[in-house]
Chains A and B, each alone.
Chain A
Amino acid sequence: MSDTGAVPLVEIENVEKRFGGAGGFLSSPQPVVKALNDVTLTVPKGEAFCLVGESGCGKSTLARTVIGLHPPSAGEIRYRGKRIDNLSTRERRPYNQKMQMIFQNPYASLNPRMTVLQTLEEPLRIHRPQMSDAEIRDKVHAVMRSVGNDPAWGERYPHEFSGGQRQRISIARALMLDPEFIVADEPISALDVSIQAQVLNVMMDAQKERDLTYLFITHDLSVVEHFGSQVAVMYLGTVCEQAETRKLFSMPRHPYTQALLSAIPKMDGTGVNHVKMTGEVPTAMDLPKGCVFHPRCPHAMERCCHEVPTLKQNGSSQTACFAVEEGRI
């Protein structure tokens, strides 16, 4: 799928994101939240790159940083080799068309006072002033059809739609400017199973037809296994493993990935057989020293408590774990 040798579409290099700290005017310093710690990921063109991990591990923060909703505290984001995290609003504009975002909650991301038609026309009116009304109308209808919504619904408002229809409207809006790269933050997590399938199909169809690249965030591992070509597993602001989806699922290496995969409920009637982790998930305000996973890790040794493992190629995956490096896993 990826064009090997070419410049990757998106590169995330040594990105850190901290919240709080300074403290506002007249307010005491806020505790520092280390939401992302030295995250490095490469998204080649054409991939459905999935980001998984449990709540609070920094997935949304990474999504927002990549798309430019907030600047990284350190590190770089590059798009087709060009650094984009430090651009002015004006310089950023062409990239805002190429990169789009879909959110978990379409209720919050669609303007309730705009009809579907107005919502979908808006990006064209702003970014494609040369288009005539007729051209805009045609384009809106074509995109609506491509996401499985009836163009006749254009005069309606978001509240008149079901959750799945609404999420398809947000997908349609993201597609209006023919983007190359879409960041989707838990786009199906709030939907029922049958509706999840509908929306995931729309996203897979769009990828095929438009040669899209996705950064797809989810906590649902069965969705990753189905949809993802590459997957990165995050834990407490750190990428602990990255691999081709098939390889990660057939041979998870990092102890956290192993625990996560074992926790996926299975339908074979064998009950619950998950790898048990010790302790509680620490918070991003109080990161453990050394490997962030060591307090819960069944394989932790002395070294893990003070040295930070970095992502290294280990067999079929990149893993940040000393136990894997030392051949203990």
Chain B
Amino acid sequence: MALLEVKDLQVEFPLGRKTLQALYGIDFALDKGERLGIVGESGAGKSVAAFSILNLLSKPGRISGGEILFEGRDLSKLNDKEMRTIRGNRISMIFQDPMMTLNPVLTIGTQMVECLKAHRDISSAEAREIAISKLREVMIPSPENRMDSYPHELSGGMRQRVVIAIALLTDPSIIIADEPTTALDVTIQAEIMALMLELCKTNNVGLILITHDLAVVSQVTERIMVMYAGRVVEEGYTQEVIKNPRHPYTRGLLKALPQENRPGQRLNQIPGSMPALDAIPAGCAFNPRCEFADGDCVKAVPDLVGEQGHRAACVHVDRIPAFVGAGGAE
């Protein structure tokens, strides 16, 4: 059995008289030490999916169906106290903004020691030692001194390293990272991604990496899940999906990338934009933007079809032409 198994997860936001549905039953699984990427444009439901796992949905969001099985236990049924034994302990979360994790008025050392002592029965001295070793693991220079620093004394990249060190403190089995490098510069992004990849590999930690950047996902993850309007539209082995996308949305996203187009030429664009939750089209939600859409696409929501290593939810999956990037077009 997989370490984490999300089954038919549904999330909704009751707003006054109407209720908006944000996730329409999504399924995914993560094995021990596996790295999964979740991609899709803003509003697709990536963060909602990730936040549901740890019961971090912002009000008034609620899980309205499905199961989140972690080591066989359904996390969606846990009370707050039980959840605290999982969150930040067995499953850690890294946000885009490091200050979602860090307390501005406490030193790095104090925060790390408190975090450890909340989950382990150890002395402050022991906790301090572990904290320093984790700061060293994330390549923070002179970690002993950094223990006494406040978050604002560090650069954005260093702060995100500290957050990674905190995420690793309790030797979790899964780290969920929601756009961890989106706010950072490309050279710092490369350093952080290389670091996360290596740490996950050496410690056999599972990773759920949420990002809108297909290239980052392709560098770091083994499997990928593409979301659109609250559903999974394609999933499979990362390189397989990226080299041979089967869903028109995934294909369109890849074709829109500058690096997949001849320099100076118009980019292949997808018309329109992601629908709002109260305006999700019937049938395949992508149909108004899809170049392959016809009458069949509005009749029913297509199921994910294909083999376990690569599935796509498109009525016309057999008709979608092979993807040819810039390399092939030359």
Mark A residues whose CB is within 8 Å of B. Answer: 54-55, 162-165, 192-198, 200-201, 204-205, 219, 221-223, 225-227, 245-246, 259-260, 262-272, 274, 276-277, 280-281
Contacts and interface: CB of A to CB of B under 8 A. Distances in A.
Given A194-B253, A265-B193, A280 B158 contact: yes
Given A54-B186, A192-B42, A267 B259 contact: yes
B267 interface: yes
A196 B194 contact: no
A225 B269 contact: no
Nearest to B183: A55
B258 A223 contact: yes
Given A266-B219, A269-B218, A272-B190, A196 B155 contact: no
A225 B41 contact: no
Contact of A192 (B41, B187, B191, B258): B41
Contacts of A277: 187
A230 to B, nearest CB: 13
B256 interface: yes
Interface string B231-266: 000000011001000000000110011110101101
A314 B256 CA distance: 35
A224 B69 CA distance: 44
Contact of A162 (B186, B188, B273): B273
B127 to A, nearest CB: 27
Contact of A260 (B186, B253, B259, B267): B186
A209 to B, nearest CB: 13
A193 B219 contact: no
A164 B186 contact: no
A268 B239 CA distance: 8
A280 B159 CA distance: 12
Contact of A226 (B220, B259, B270): B259
Main secondary structure of the interface of A (DSSP, over half): helix
27 contacts: A162-B273, A192-B212, A194-B41, A194-B252, A197-B257, A200-B258, A201-B266, A201-B267, A219-B186, A222-B257, A225-B258, A226-B258, A226-B261, A226-B267, A246-B263, A260-B187, A262-B190, A263-B190, A264-B186, A265-B186, A265-B190, A265-B215, A266-B218, A267-B219, A267-B242, A272-B219, A274-B187
Contacts of A219: 185-186
Given A194-B253, A197-B270, A205-B266, A54 B185 contact: yes
**Nearest 6 Cβ contacts at the A-B interface:** A226-B258, A265-B215, A263-B190, A197-B256, A274-B190, A54-B185
Contact of B256 (A162, A165, A194, A267): A194
Given A197-B257, A225-B259, A264-B186, 13 more contacts: A192-B212, A193-B214, A194-B269, A197-B267, A198-B269, A201-B269, A260-B186, A265-B215, A267-B214, A267-B218, A271-B197, A276-B191, A280-B158
Contacts, number: 123
Interface in B189-245: 189-191, 193-194, 197, 212-216, 218-220, 238-239, 242
A264 to B, nearest CB: 6
A271 B219 contact: yes
B19 interface: no
Interface of B: 41-42, 155, 157-158, 185-191, 193-194, 197, 212-216, 218-220, 238-239, 242, 252-253, 256-259, 261, 263-264, 266-271, 273-274
A193 B218 contact: no
A192 B274 contact: yes
Contacts of B191: 274, 276
A141 to B, nearest CB: 20
Most chain A CB within 10 A, of B185, B238, B270, is at B185
Contact of B155 (A163, A265, A281): A281
Contact of B186 (A192, A221, A225, A226): A221
Contact of B212 (A193, A200, A225): A193
Contacts of A245: 263
A135 to B, nearest CB: 30
Contact of B193 (A164, A165, A196, A272): A272
B325 to A, nearest CB: 9
A221 B252 CA distance: 20
Contacts of A195: 41, 273
Contact of B197 (A55, A192, A269, A272): A272
A168 to B, nearest CB: 12
A263 B213 CA distance: 14
A91 to B, nearest CB: 37
A223 B258 CA distance: 6
A49 B161 CA distance: 35
A226 B264 CA distance: 6
Contacts of B273: 162-165, 192, 194-195
Nearest to B242: A267
B153 to A, nearest CB: 12
